[in-house]
């Protein structure tokens, strides 16, 4: 009798211990989190220039994964921070997230002027930084950073793409050999504008263009009339413009009012990637302008993408429409951030957890360097392979590339490269444009 009671008591203890262990494990699973600090500009001029839309794309992806079980049993705990369109605020917020909020990863960053100093600080304290947006080559070039990775193409690539496009159509569309084409390079004078303009200048010299203006300006300048006067005097055929907004709207309004004429205008991302904002400020004047950016995920060929990606693109589009009802053209900005965030959450984090035992900076770095996605492996159509520390730009995605789209009658079409072309570009500007040469 005693033995039976003793065994029964022991059995009850074991059962209780097992139940307690199960309950504790379940509680632990529920509490498993990956803290990600998300930094974008939710206020200030950069917000309307595209940063808010990148923030939306990132949030859509994080919410999607949290609703569908998280990452390898972990829920994502995003902590959103507003850089306020100011580099010093962005730096302070990034360090606050690391030191006070104890985030595991920093993600986002729209402005190159913010990215350049932040990347160095984050790498110094050995935290992992995943850049969804900012494109300046100066962020990574010749810095040999270990823990900073960018899935985006670089600013230099933007400049080379736009000049290569114009060179290819110089004789056919403008009736001039490249050395007879007069071009103007204008840009905001921050890290972003300077880097892209250098790429434009490099490409222009390779093509043999006649550069008649090459000038920067402050993105916060209240008046750009002196720049317009200079352009009027030099009569460029093509204007290559790198800016945010409202500086883009200010420039184009003053150009129209002062009678500046040209045959084509090519913008480079940022404000030129937010069609609704352009149209709000300029109306139908934006018709036939070009923009250089990674392709909009809504313009990629489903057949060329990895299976499963078209379904994710549909989810992003539906959530975008809910968040921004009435959108005329879905901005490439939302898709860019969504795609680049998706790569982190589906390729880098799971590999770090499963293969390297967690998501500290070294585990994430190893997982990122092993990533080898072929063309079509992302929603943006390009693949992913990061350069290592021995290269000029360690952490740069060497398989990323931009495309050129043209806005025509409230739609956007890929016009370059020819391998992805949806239609022939309309060149030069038709007589219906207020900027067309008369």
Q: What is the CATH number of domain 156-293+402-420?
A: 3.40.50.2300
Helix/strand/coil for 344: helix
pLDDT value of residue 438: 81
> Contact at 8 Å (CB) between 272 and 158?
no
pLDDT value of residue 276: 84
Q: Do domains 33-153+301-370 and 156-293+402-420 have the same CATH topology?
A: yes
Q: Is 20 a residue whose pLDDT tops 50? A: no
Calculate mean pLDDT across residues 18-46. 69
Residues facing residue 131 across a β-bridge: 108, 150
- The fraction of the chain above a pLDDT of 90, given in percent, is 78
> How would residue 268 be classed by pLDDT, with cut points 50, 70 and 90?
very high
Q: Is 32 a residue whose pLDDT tops 50? A: yes
Q: Is 304 a residue whose pLDDT tops 50? A: yes
Calculate mean pLDDT across residues 14-25. 38
The CA radius of gyration of the chain, in Å to the nearest whole number, is: 25
For residue 165, which of 414, 438, 396, 380 has the smallest C-alpha distance? 414
Q: Is 23 a residue whose pLDDT tops 60? A: no
The answer as to CATH 3.40.1390.40 being correct for domain 33-153+301-370 is no
Distance from the Cα of residue 370 to its chain's centroid: 22
Which stretches within 208-331 are classed as H helix?
225-234, 247-257, 275-282, 309-323
Helix/strand/coil for 143: coil
Residues facing residue 183 across a β-bridge: 211, 238
The tens digit of pLDDT for each residue in 379-419 reads 999 999 999 888 889 999 999 999 999 999 999 999 999 88
* Average pLDDT score over the chain: 91
Task: Say how far apart CA 133 and CA 119 lie, in whole Å.
Answer: 13
Distance from the Cα of residue 151 to its chain's centroid: 8
Q: Is 315 a residue whose pLDDT tops 60? A: yes
For residue 234, which of 217, 209, 253, 257 has the smallest C-alpha distance? 209
Q: Is 4 a residue whose pLDDT tops 50? A: no
Domain boundaries, the chain: 33-153+301-370, 156-293+402-420
N-to-C CA span, the chain: 110
Q: What is the full DSSP assignment across 393-431?
A: TTTBBTT---EEEEEETTEEEEEESGGG-SS----S--T
Residue scoring higher pLDDT (48 or 235):
235
Lowest mean pLDDT: which of 92-96, 103-107, 108-112? Answer: 108-112
Q: Which residue has the tokens 């500007």?
A: 429
Residue scoring higher pLDDT (31 or 47):
47
pTM, two decimal places: 0.82
Q: Is 7 a residue whose pLDDT tops 60? A: no
Of all residues in the chain, what percent are helix, strand and coil, respectively (each to 5)? 50, 20, 35
Task: Say how far apart CA 267 and CA 290 lie, in whole Å.
Answer: 6
The tens digit of pLDDT for each residue in 77-98 reads 999 999 999 999 999 999 999 9
Calculate mean pLDDT across residues 335-358. 97
Check the CA dihedral 41-47-50-55 and report its sign: positive
The tens digit of pLDDT for each residue in 220-237 reads 999 999 999 999 999 999
Q: What is the full DSSP assignment across 194-230?
A: HHHHHHHHHHHHHHT-EEEEEEEE-TT-S--HHHHHH
């Amino acid at each position: 009798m005693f033995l039976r009671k003793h065994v029964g008591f022991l059995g009850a203890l074991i059962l209780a211990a097992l139940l307690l262990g199960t309950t504790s494990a379940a509680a632990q699973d529920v509490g498993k989190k990956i803290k990600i600090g998300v930094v974008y500009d939710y206020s200030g001029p950069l917000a309307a220039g595209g940063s808010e839309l990148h923030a939306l794309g990132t949030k859509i992806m994080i919410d999607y994964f949290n609703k569908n079980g998280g990452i390898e049993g972990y829920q994502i705990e995003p902590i959103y921070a507003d850089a306020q369109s100011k580099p010093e605020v962005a730096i302070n917020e990034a360090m606050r997230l690391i030191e006070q909020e104890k985030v595991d990863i920093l993600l986002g960053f729209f402005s190159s002027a913010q990215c350049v100093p932040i990347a160095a600080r984050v790498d110094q304290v050995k935290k992992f930084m995943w850049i969804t947006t900012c494109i300046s080559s100066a962020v990574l070039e010749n810095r040999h950073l270990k823990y900073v990775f960018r899935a985006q193409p670089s600013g230099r690539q933007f400049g080379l793409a736009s000049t290569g496009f114009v060179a290819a159509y110089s004789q056919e569309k403008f009736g001039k050999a490249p050395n007879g084409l007069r071009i103007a390079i204008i840009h905001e004078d921050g890290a972003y504008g300077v880097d892209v303009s250098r790429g434009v200048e490099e490409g222009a010299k390779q093509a043999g263009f006649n550069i008649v203006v090459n000038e920067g300006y402050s993105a916060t300048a209240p008046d750009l009339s002196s720049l317009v006067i200079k352009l009027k005097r030099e009569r460029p055929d093509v204007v290559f413009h790198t800016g945010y907004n409202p500086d883009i709207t200010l420039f184009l309004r003053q150009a129209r009012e002062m009678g500046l004429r040209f045959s084509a205008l090519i913008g480079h991302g940022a404000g030129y990637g937010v069609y609704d904002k352009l149209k709000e400020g300029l109306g139908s004047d934006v018709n036939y302008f070009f923009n250089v950016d990674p392709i909009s995920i809504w313009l990629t060929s489903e057949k060329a993408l990895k299976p499963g990606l078209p379904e994710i693109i549909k989810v992003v589009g539906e959530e975008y429409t809910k968040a921004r009802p009435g959108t005329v053209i879905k901005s490439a900005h939302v898709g860019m951030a969504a795609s680049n965030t998706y790569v982190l959450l589906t390729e880098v984090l799971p590999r770090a957890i499963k293969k390297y035992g967690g998501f500290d900076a070294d585990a994430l770095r190893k997982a990122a360097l092993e990533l080898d996605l072929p063309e079509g492996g992302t929603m943006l159509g390009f693949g992913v392979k990061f350069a290592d520390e021995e290269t000029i730009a360690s952490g740069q995605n060497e398989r990323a590339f931009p495309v050129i789209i043209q806005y025509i009658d409230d739609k956007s079409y890929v016009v370059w490269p020819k391998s992805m072309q949806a239609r022939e570009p309309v060149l030069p500007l038709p007589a219906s444009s207020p900027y067309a040469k008369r």
